[in-house]
Amino acid sequence: WQAIENGVGNTEYSGQVTLGTSGSSGSYNLTDTARGGHKTYNLNHGTSGKGTLFSGADDVWGDGNGSTPETAAADAHYGAAETWDYYKNVHGRNGIKGDGVGAYSRVHYGNNYVNAFWDDSCFCMTYGDGSGNAHPLTALDVAAHEMSHGVTSNTAGLNYSGESGGLNEATSDIFGTAVEFYANNATDKGDYLIGEKIDINGDGTPLRYQDKPSRDGISPDAWYSGIGNVDVHYSSGPANHFFYLLSEGSGAKTINGVSYNSPTSDGLPVTGIGRAKAEQIWFKALSTKFTSTTNYAGARTGTLAVAGELYGTTSAEYKAVQDAWAGINVGA
Ligand code: ASN
Ligand code: ZN
Ligand code: CA
């Protein structure tokens, strides 16, 4: 038996945070007993197995700049905790499967590995150190993105190809953003950008944009016939755009110092209903309407059904869902 402790994490991306740890004087480890026993392991550049559970004599983890392997662990452990708390407190879901059981994270995967991923078979997520082992892929929105793949697998089970694959990816981006806002971290404020902290392009730009996905130079802003043939990290674009439009509405807006300008494919304005309601609609659609083969048209039907149940079919919320889908060229 180990006592539930509150450690101190000196993260790279989120400043100094509280971490859920275990142990007692002189012997601590990264086991978050209050969150299903979620653990964080050090792969130490390996690519298989669990590696070593992070442990140490003090309950302070990382130095805030990555010169100790603990820093990436602190970020990953924090991201998992915030994601756990978000699903529990906002959606009433107790863990990835809803059974209160935690997963685990592995950091320092391989060498120069510029990715992070969720794996259903180990029920775990894994993080590379980035190019030149310089920018670990452990930022809050990335962690929430990967953990949300686990939630999608255990709810709708959206197939990871075709249009359902794009919806699967968008779901992870949507909850990546939702968790980032939920955490309300002073160092990593909420935004509608994905991966803005990890500098994956080397020029300070984020990986993806939800207000206007084509800002990345590849992702489409609107649905078109044949979108199911493009990589799921781009066919996610219109669904990310739908979420932005439903939350914030079309046009120009600045939030937490970040400027957005969201167009619509039909040229008609969308009045946003706020992120909180948009999150409720997407989560309830994911967990009660979507199936493994849901496509864009099916996502429209599912979210409209949820909006009708939650707010009524004559509500402003229902109309906003209709308008936001029309704004990405889905339905009419
Ligand atoms: N980071 C990617 C994702 O979560 C990993 C991958 O493409 N397998 O989708
Ligand atoms: Zn993903
Ligand atoms: Ca972000």
User: Does ligand 1 come within 6 angstroms of the Cβ of 123?
Assistant: no
- Quote the pLDDT of residue 332: 61
Q: Are residues 178 and 305 in the same domain?
A: yes
Burial 61-99 (b: 16+ CB within 10 A, else e): bbebebeebbbbbbbbbbbbbbbbbbbbebbebebbbbe
Contacts (Cβ under 8 Å, ≥6 apart) of 31: 2, 21, 22, 37, 38, 39, 53
Q: Is residue 48 part of a domain?
A: yes
At residue 67, the pLDDT reads 85
* Residues 203, 119 share a domain: no
CA nearest ligand 1 atom 7, residue: 117
- Which CATH number do you get for residue 215? 1.10.390.10
- Domain of 9, CATH number, reads 3.10.170.10
Domain assignment present for residue 61? The answer is yes
35 and 101 share one domain: yes
Contact 125 CB / ligand 1 (< 6 Å): no
pTM, 2 dp: 0.98
Q: Does ligand 1 lie within 6 Å of residue 173's CB atom? A: no
Looking at the fold, whether 121 and 207 belong to one and the same domain comes out as: no
Domain end call among 103, 118, 153: 153
Looking at ligand 1, which atom is closest to the CA of residue 116?
A: 1
Domain with 224 in it: 162-326
ipTM of the complex: 0.94
Q: How much is the pLDDT for 48?
A: 97
Weakly modelled stretches of the chain, pLDDT under 70 = 1, 332
- CA of 176, nearest ligand number: 3
Measured in angstroms, how far is the CA atom of residue 227 from the centroid of ligand 3? 25
Q: In the 8-state DSSP scheme, what is residue 266?
A: T
pLDDT of amino acid 1: 59
Which residues have a beta carbon within 5 Å of ligand 3, which is an ion? 141, 180, 191, 193
Q: Is 116 in the pocket of ligand 1 (CB under 6 A)?
A: yes
Atom of ligand 1 nearest to the CA of 233: 9
Q: Which residue has the tokens 């086991």?
A: 31
Q: Do both 78 and 116 map to the same domain? A: yes
